[in-house]
Amino acid sequence: MKKSKYRVFFGAGLLAVVGLLGCSQETPVEKAKAAAASGNAVTEAAGRAAVDYVKTPMDKARQTESILEQSAEQRAAEIKESTQ
């Protein structure tokens, strides 16, 4: 008798939990709209972050390259002057 009461209460509690969880779910259309809206913003932010991540070292490399070119030109001019 006691076991059957526990089973009934357990079953009723399980149904209540499943029912509450089922009521809070969104429809597939709402999920798609929410995913599209947040997906675009997330995609754009991730794209900008990736570009910035690559762009910053490339800018530094270009600056270093120009400095090295200027240094090489100065050295070549100094060598040219010293050999004349």
Q: How confident is the model at residue 39 (pLDDT cuts 50, 70, 90)?
A: low
Per domain, the residue ranges of the chain are 2-83
Mean pLDDT of the region 26-50: 68
Mean pLDDT of the region 10-15: 76
Residues 76, 80: Cα–Cα separation, whole Å: 6
Q: Which two tokens stand for residue 13?
A: 């509690």
Contacts for 26 with CB less than 8 Å, ≥ 6 apart: 34
The answer to whether residues 63 and 71 touch, using CB atoms and an 8 Å cutoff, is no
The answer to whether residues 26 and 34 touch, using CB atoms and an 8 Å cutoff, is yes
* pLDDT averaged over every residue in the chain: 77
CB half-sphere exposure, 78, CA atoms < 13 A: 6
- What phi, psi does 25 have (nearest 5°)? -80, 150
pTM passes above 0.75: no
